[in-house]
Chains A and B, each alone.
Chain A
Amino acid sequence: MTDSPVDAAGLRRRTRDLLAAHPPATTDRPDFLRARFDAGLAWVHYPEGLGGLGAPRSLQAVVDAELEAAGAPDNDPRRIGIGLGMVAPTILRHGTEEQKRRHLRPLWTGEEVWCQLFSEPGAGSDLAALGTRAVRDGDHWVVDGQKVWTSSAHLARWAILIARTDPGVPKHQGITYFLCDMTDPGVEVRPLRQITGEAEFNEVFLTGVRIPDSHRLGGIGDGWRVARTTLMNERVSIGGMRLPREGGMIGPVARTWRERPELRTHDLHQRLLKLWVEAEVARLTGERLRQQLVAGQPGPEGSGMKLAFARLNQEISGLEVELLGEEGLLYDDWRMRRPELVDFTGRDAGYRYLRSKGNSIEGGTSEVLLNIVAERVLGLPAEPRTDKDVAWKDLAK
């Protein structure tokens, strides 16, 4: 290669070379995606040899535009969001060279789906109190416990897992982070049916699961620090979408309002206009945040986006059910299903109303996020911490 790959022109040339060597029309999808990864065009800001070229992240758009114009297949990012959004940055930052080489390629191409074994029935907002145990046995760890709210567990080949390796120290210190093979016979996945009738999530029971020590990510007892990388990336991926006006939950209800004048009442009109304004302002806030990131001036505003969208989704979908009158009494389908993709604005108003109830719980409850804003942004005193200096085994369970 004589041309410099890190500028836009160089990336465009590399992309065209890839397309010439592997014409999308005659290349199998997985072959094309592997070739794209090997050409460093998967995520250009990643290091060379790991799907990237060490280029500025903003230049990914150049590659994506070329590929889209040529009709190249993508890696269906919505299906592998956990892997791309949370697992990959964590492995990149904390993994060994061997772990990076083994996992990042099939993760990115979608050949290996990932899930996240973090939450437990007894450890929700207080995730660091988790009780799943990992006990050392030679060059293996033996894991026993129960995880919950695991999306994609029934599709996943791998999981990121945090487990307690030392109960004798305070809760944050005794945790270790592992990459867990979901095909281990000790892993049992059961669908967890939710109030919408379907099962997006699973419960995962871990019984004598054997994990080689080489699948540990980061040091023994250092799992909480590693997990923070994962969790920070979770919140980034929740708030960062760019929307047109009426692009979110407000879209369907505004359309119904326009198309069905017989449903309109004065009370609903007042409430709809208020929510329309709030949705538009939240959209502008998201756009402003995006502009700050592009300009290299990230602010604390991102912490607020999830809070705002959770409340708005709930209020707007609640209004929509009322607007529908007689039809608001109906529901499209209660049958138990296991959807691969989740679309908060998909299906009908009743579904949207029920599904959005989860928006203020998943990925950090609104109550915890308000604490975070108050403490980290406004600098107000932290909540009293009675568990800080107590060994995990001595905490009230």
Chain B
Amino acid sequence: MTDLLYSEEEEALRAAVRDLLTDHCGPAGVIARMESDEPHDLALWKSLAEGMGLAGLLVPEERGGQGATHREAAVVLEELGRAVAPVPYLTSAVVATEALLACAGEEAAGLLADLASGRRIGALAVGLHTAPGGAFRAVRVEGGRLHGETAGIADAAVADVLLVPAEDGGLYAVGADAVTVTPRVSLDLTRPVATIVLEGAPGRRLGDAEPAVRRALRAGAGLLASEQLGLAERSLTETVNYLKERRQFNRPVGGFQALKHRLAQLWLQTVNLRAAARSAADALARGEDADVAVAVAQAYAAPVAVHAAEEALQLHGGIGMTWEHPAHLRLKRAKADSLAYGTAGAHREELAALVDLQAP
């Protein structure tokens, strides 16, 4: 049966991740890093992946991982979302890892162990905006060499290995040093996207692309809801705290009923989002009803996270509009997340088929 709560172990994991992020991922540091040559925080990544072993949560112990489940990974993502942490956790430890879990063979097994240990970072070369059931681009393959271009690849700039779907139906592992990765100026600078050009890059076939990509995107979409939950909750908390302090018209702004009602509504939405996100994580962990649970969570999560970040900006007034205030970190992440792994609308369309509510 669905378990929508957090276990004691999950709460302990949350506390440990939050401690690390409180010490090493403050908003001022993230903002300063965003425009530097290294927008990703690889030192933080090392602490999370190698120090705490969190990159291998989804990988069984006998394959080099921690043998945990999507439930624990979801808790990590809640905390990373709260901090808008610039680390490739969702892209490497969830999406690329899930793609590899779908592939048999030694090639995939070796890579999987590398990703699980945090020694290497992987990225699935499928556009971040792609829904689990959506079409994705495949590159040409000639004599084991790959040719083509693929765009919108999140965290590609720090990936050591790319997992590339090819026209022959295979998923190929390609070293990042064998391709040209061109970072694009991204809406969300904490999870930037890049274009990848392959000009005869050598690739090793891992398995069939279709099932691997579908599985990876579904897990990505499902666990993204937990990142969106963390982000929405932090937006709400920061805004409530600010409105208790901020005074205009000789009273705390948070005492005006129009604003109280907006914040109460937002709270209700985050409470709902928590249930939806836990349901998706639990369904992925149990492998039961996961298609519906993930589609429900993603159809609900993105509008809530965006709404929370937008309300935070508006209710902070002028200060929220400044570059130095962290409200825009969450707004940009929330808006980019609303496209990631399919929009809410794409997931509703998916549901129409899944629960037999067909279009006219």
Contacts and interface: CB of A to CB of B under 8 A. Distances in A.
Interface of A: 254, 257-258, 261, 264-266, 269-270, 272-274, 276-278, 280-282, 284-285, 287-288, 291-292, 295, 297, 301, 304, 307-308, 367, 370-371, 373-375, 377-383
B248 interface: no
7 contacts: A254-B357, A273-B299, A273-B352, A276-B357, A284-B2, A284-B276, A285-B271
Contacts of A276: 351, 355, 357
A240 to B, nearest CB: 15
Given A277-B299, A371-B260, A292 B5 contact: yes
Contacts of B243: 380
A284 B294 CA distance: 13
Contact of B267 (A277, A304, A381): A304
B275 A284 contact: yes
A291 B264 CA distance: 23
A307 B265 CA distance: 9
Interface string B1-23: 01111000000000000000000
A278 B351 contact: no
B357 A381 contact: no
Interface in B220-276: 240, 243-244, 251-252, 254-255, 257, 260-261, 263-265, 267-268, 271-276
B356 interface: yes
A288 to B, nearest CB: 4
Given A258-B357, A273-B357, A274-B348, 18 more contacts: A257-B357, A258-B356, A264-B358, A272-B357, A278-B272, A280-B296, A284-B2, A284-B275, A284-B276, A285-B275, A288-B4, A291-B4, A291-B5, A304-B268, A371-B261, A378-B264, A380-B243, A380-B255
A277 B3 CA distance: 19
A367 B262 CA distance: 11
Nearest to A257: B357
B150 interface: no
The 4 lowest CB-CB distance pairs between A and B, nearest first, are A381-B255, A374-B260, A264-B360, A284-B275
B333 interface: no
Nearest to B359: A269
A257 B357 CA distance: 7
A268 to B, nearest CB: 8
Interface residues of B, number: 40
B2 A287 contact: yes
Given A281-B300, A371-B257, A374-B260, A288 B357 contact: no
B279 interface: yes
B278 interface: yes
A242 to B, nearest CB: 11
B278 A374 contact: no
A278 B275 CA distance: 12
B275 A273 contact: no
Question: Which of B3, B243, B360 counts the most A-chain CB atoms under 10 A from its CB?
Answer: B360
A51 B92 CA distance: 59
A373 B267 contact: yes
Nearest to B266: A378
A287 B4 CA distance: 8
